[in-house]
A and B are shown apart, each in its own frame.
Chain A
Amino acid sequence: MKAWLMQTKVEVLRIFRNPYFVFWSLFMPIVFYFVFTNIFNTGMGDSWNSRFLMSITCFSVMGTSILTLGIRLVEEKAHGWSNFMRTTPLSSSVYFSAKMVGQTMIHICSVIIIFVVGAVINGVSLSVWQWLTSALWILIGALPFLAIGTIIGAMNKVETAAGISNFFYMVLAFMGGLFMPIEVLPSIFKTIAKAIPSYHYGAGVWEITEGGTPSLLNIAVLTGYFLLFVVLSIYIRRKQEVVV
Chain B
Amino acid sequence: METIIATNHLSKRYKNLWAVNDVSFEVNKGELLAVLGKNGAGKSTTLLMLLGLVKPTLGNILILNKQPQERAVKEKIGVMLQEVSVIDALSVKEVLLMFSSYYENPLRLEEVLEITGIPIEMLKKRAYKLSGGQKRRLNFALAILSNPQIVFLDEPTVGMDSTVRKKFWQAIQFLNDEGKTVIFTTHYLQEADDVAKRIMLFNQGKVIADGSPLQLKSHLSDGAISFTSDQVDINLLQTFSHVISAKITNQRIVLTTTSTDALLGELFEKKVVMRDIHLHRARLEDAFESLTVEGGSVNESLVDANESRSITDI
A interface residue numbers (CB < 8 A to B)? 2-3, 5-7, 10, 13-14, 17-18, 75-76, 79-81, 83-84, 86-91, 244
Contact = CB atoms under 8 A, between A and B. Distances in A.
B52 interface: yes
Contact of B89 (A14, A81, A84, A86): A14
B79 A87 contact: yes
B87 A81 contact: yes
Interface string B134-149: 0000000010001000
Give the one of A6, A7, A84, A87 with max B CB within 10 A.
Answer: A87
Contacts of A86: 51-53
A10 B90 contact: yes
B125 interface: no
Contact of A87 (B53, B55, B87, B104): B53
A91 B85 CA distance: 21
A96 B82 CA distance: 24
Contacts of A3: 101-102
Contacts of B79: 84, 87
A86 B102 CA distance: 11
A91 B90 CA distance: 21
Interface of B: 51-55, 71, 74-75, 77, 79, 81-85, 87-90, 94, 97-99, 101-104, 142, 146
Contacts of A88: 74, 99, 102-103, 146
Nearest to B97: A6
B71 A89 contact: yes
A87 B102 contact: no
A244 B142 CA distance: 25
A90 B85 contact: no
A89 B90 contact: no
A75 B51 CA distance: 22
Contact of A89 (B82, B97, B103): B103
A84 B90 contact: no
19 contacts: A2-B101, A6-B97, A6-B98, A7-B98, A13-B94, A14-B87, A14-B89, A18-B88, A18-B89, A79-B83, A79-B84, A83-B84, A86-B53, A87-B79, A87-B81, A88-B102, A88-B146, A89-B71, A244-B53
Nearest to A19: B89
Nearest to B85: A79
Nearest to B83: A80
A17 to B, nearest CB: 4
A139 to B, nearest CB: 23
A83 B53 contact: yes
A84 B102 contact: no
Contacts of A87: 51-53, 74, 77, 79, 81
Given A10-B94, A89-B102, A80 B55 contact: no
Contacts of A10: 90, 94, 98
